[in-house]
């Protein structure tokens, strides 16, 4: 693999369990020291660019949001050589102007999850990455342009409320999140975005609106059967978005500032760091550990 080559990891959300546009596709299972990923990786090419697809919930939607092993998912994508991550995720709308069927390019998060492992680092090897700007702006630019080229109604800039689930919100919660300034709500983008940052993978999120959350008094509360038709339509549009994304990529990838965020994030003296944890970080933090002679 060349240093200036794109390898785009695509994490497919609800309704998006395959990527038919992939040419020369092959499925591989990548082992991770963090446990089992959601499914096999599907490797292939679109418009001459390398892509790696992972269905976030597994084929057939077997894994619930709280049971997702996001550490393993990000780790195996890193091991597969991914340079950037494009996340596709179903969401509910907290704003009238964000209608079912719309695509939203998220730029901020509020993380209200509580039952998930949120970092590769911990006791024995401590690191603190910045999440002030949690998505890659240039990758988000490309995602926005691709969604528009695919024909999707697109909104740029939104705050995503990540809830634990699997239940949907109460009306009181939905109203509270609106007061906080949140725009969309979902169950899967956290800790995925945090872990991508720790793995030095530039990350963009296309949130696909399936329904209005339950803050509206003029409609019934959210039910799964009500959103399935929109989910299927969104999945078709998401697949077209990925194709347009691939077509617009330049032939070479320029260095991204997010490629080296761990340089200033690890604060543990590696001479006393936990060796077992360092071994598990061979993919996620291998670059920076190697630069320090580990």
Give the residue numbers annotated as catalytic, written as ranges.
211, 213
**What is the per-residue DSSP string for the chain?**
--TT--EEEEEE-TT----TT-EEEEEE----TT---SS-EEEEEETTEEEEEEETTTTTT-S-GGG--HHHHHHHHHHTT-SEEEEEEEEEESSTTS-TT-EEEE-EEEE---SS---S-BTTB-B----SS-S-HHHHHHHHHHHHHHT--EEE--EEEE---SSPPPHHHHHHHHHTT--EEESSHHHHHHHHHHTT--EEEEEEEEEE-TT-TTSPPP-HHHHHHHHHHHHHHHHHHHHHHHHHS-SSPPP-GGGGGGGGTB-S-GGGS-HHHHHHTTTTSHHHHHHTT-
């Amino acid at each position: 693999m060349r240093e200036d080559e794109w390898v785009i990891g695509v994490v497919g959300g609800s309704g998006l369990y395959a990527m038919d546009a992939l040419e020369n596709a092959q499925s591989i299972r990548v082992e991770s020291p963090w446990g089992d990923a959601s499914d096999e990786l599907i490797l292939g090419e679109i418009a001459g660019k390398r892509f790696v697809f992972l269905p976030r919930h597994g084929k057939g939607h077997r894994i619930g949001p709280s049971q997702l092993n996001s550490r393993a998912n990000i780790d195996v994508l890193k091991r597969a050589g991914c340079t950037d991550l494009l996340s596709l995720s179903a969401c509910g709308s907290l704003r009238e102007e964000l209608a079912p069927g719309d695509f939203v390019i998220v730029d901020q998060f509020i993380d209200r999850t509580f039952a998930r492992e949120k970092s590769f680092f911990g006791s024995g090897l401590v690191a603190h990455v910045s999440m002030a700007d949690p998505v890659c702006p240039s990758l988000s630019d490309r995602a926005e342009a691709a969604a528009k080229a695919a024909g999707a109604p697109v909104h740029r800039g939104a705050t995503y409320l990540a809830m634990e689930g699997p239940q949907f919100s109460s009306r009181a919660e939905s109203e509270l999140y609106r007061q906080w300034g949140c725009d969309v709500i979902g169950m899967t983008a956290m800790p995925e975005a945090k872990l991508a940052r720790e793995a030095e993978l530039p990350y963009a999120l296309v949130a696909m609106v399936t329904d209005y959350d339950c803050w509206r008094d003029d409609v019934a509360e959210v039910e799964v059967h009500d959103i399935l038709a929109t989910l299927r339509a969104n999945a078709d549009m998401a697949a077209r978005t990925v194709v347009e994304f691939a077509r617009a990529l330049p032939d070479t990838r320029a260095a991204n500032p997010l490629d080296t965020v761990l340089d200033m994030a690890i604060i543990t003296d590696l001479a006393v760091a936990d060796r077992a944890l360092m071994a598990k970080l061979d993919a996620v933090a291998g670059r920076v550990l190697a630069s320090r002679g580990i």
